[in-house]
C-alpha cells in the first residue's frame, strides 16, 4: 500500500514506526489516514521481525481529532451505517503486539481516543489532551467516554468531556493517562528505548501480558484472574520460559527466540 497520510519506517529492524502526516491539518484524522494507519499496523503485526510499534505525530500535534471539514455534512444515516467515520477506527484494537503512542502537542477528540487505544502513552511536556467534541454539538465517538474515565476517573473525565478543558502533560501523568513525560526533543528517543526494551523480551510473554491486561477491562476480577492464570500456565509451554529462567539461574543474559 502506498501511504499518503502517514510515514512508515522501522528502527533497528525491530520497531515499526507510524508517523501521522497531515501537518497542515494538525494531523486531523480522516478515513484515508485511518485506513493507512490500520494497514501499516497490521503489516507490522504480521512481520515476525517487529516486536513493538510506535504511533506518533508532529511536535505541534499528535492529532487534533477527526477531520471536522470531512464530517461536517454527514447525516445520521451516513455515520450510523458505518461507511463513513466508523468503518476503520477500531483496527488498532486487533493488533496483538504492543503499540506505544508518542504524543507531542495536541491530542484532541479522536486524537486523544487514538492515543488511548494504544497500549501506553509517552508524552512530551507540551502535550495537551482533550475531548472537546461538546463544542461541536457532538460527543466523543471513538471510545472517549469509556477509556478516559477508566484512565483518569469519572470526575476528570466528566470535566474534560463536559467543559472541553484540556489536560496538560503534567496533569495527564498525575492522573494516570500517560506513563511518562519527557522533553519534546527526547520524545522519540524515550519511546524508542521503551520499544527496544520490549523487543528484547519473549514476544509470546509480551503478547500474553498485553492480552491479560486488556482482559481486565472486559471482565470481573475473578474471570480476569482466571484468564491471567491460564495465560501464566501457558507460558510454561514455551522455550522462552526455559531460556529466561535458565539465564537467570546461570547469571547470563537471556536470548529469547519467541517460541
Residues from 99 through 118 that contact ligand DAK (CB under 6 A): 106, 108-110
User: What Å distances lie between residue 188 and 18, 185, 221, CA to CA?
Assistant: 12, 7, 35
Task: Establish whether 113 is a catalytic residue.
Answer: yes
Tell me if residue 110 is catalytic. Answer: yes
| Smallest separation, CB 204 to ligand DAK (Å) | 31
Cα dihedral angle (11, 17, 22, 23), rounded to 10 degrees? -50
As measured in angstroms, the least distance from the Cβ of 99 to ligand DAK is 17
Residue 157: φ, ψ to 5°: -65, -45
Q: Within 139-168, which residues bind ligand DAK (CB under 6 A)?
A: 141-142
Structural element, H or E, at residue 215: helix 203-215
Question: What cell was used for 44?
Answer: 507490522
127 catalytically annotated = no
Residues 57-76 that bind ligand DAK (CB under 6 A): 64-69
Task: Mark whether 66 is an active-site residue.
Answer: yes
Out of 38, 57, 105, 110, the active site residue is 110
Rounded CA separation 196/38 (Å): 22
Nearer CB in complex with ligand DAK: 80/217? 80
CA distance 41 to 37: 6
Which residues belong to the active site?
Answer: 66, 110, 113, 133
Interaction site with ligand DAK (CB under 6 A):
25-26, 28, 64-69, 85-86, 89, 106, 108-110, 132-133, 136, 141-142
Amino acid at each position: 500500500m502506498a501511504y499518503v497520510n502517514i510515514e512508515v519506517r522501522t528502527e533497528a529492524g525491530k520497531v515499526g514506526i507510524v508517523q501521522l502526516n497531515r501537518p497542515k491539518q494538525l494531523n486531523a484524522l480522516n478515513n484515508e489516514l485511518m485506513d493507512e494507519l490500520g494497514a501499516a499496523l497490521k503489516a507490522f503485526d504480521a512481520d515476525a521481525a517487529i516486536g513493538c510499534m510506535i504511533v506518533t505525530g508532529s511536535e505541534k500535534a499528535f492529532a487534533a481529532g477527526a477531520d471536522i471539514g470531512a464530517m461536517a455534512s454527514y447525516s445520521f444515516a451516513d455515520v450510523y451505517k458505518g461507511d463513513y467515520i466508523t468503518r476503520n477506527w477500531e483496527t488498532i484494537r486487533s493488533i496483538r503486539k504492543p503499540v506505544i503512542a508518542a504524543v507531542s502537542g495536541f491530542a484532541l477528540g479522536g486524537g486523544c481516543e487514538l492515543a488511548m487505544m494504544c497500549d501506553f502513552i509517552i508524552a512530551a511536556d507540551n502535550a495537551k489532551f482533550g475531548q472537546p467534541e461538546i463544542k461541536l454539538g457532538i460527543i466523543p465517538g471513538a471510545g472517549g467516554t469509556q477509556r478516559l474515565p477508566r484512565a483518569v476517573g469519572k470526575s476528570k473525565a466528566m470535566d474534560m468531556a463536559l467543559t472541553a478543558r484540556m489536560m496538560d502533560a503534567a496533569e495527564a501523568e498525575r492522573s494516570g493517562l500517560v506513563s511518562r513525560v519527557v522533553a519534546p526533543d527526547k520524545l522519540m528517543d524515550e519511546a524508542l528505548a521503551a520499544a527496544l526494551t520490549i523487543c528484547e523480551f519473549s514476544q509470546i510473554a509480551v503478547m500474553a501480558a498485553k492480552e491479560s491486561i486488556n482482559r481486565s477491562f472486559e471482565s470481573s476480577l475473578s474471570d480476569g484472574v482466571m484468564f491471567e492464570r491460564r495465560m501464566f500456565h501457558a507460558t510454561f509451554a514455551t522455550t522462552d520460559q526455559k531460556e529466561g529462567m535458565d539465564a537467570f539461574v546461570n547469571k547470563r543474559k537471556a536470548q529469547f527466540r519467541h517460541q
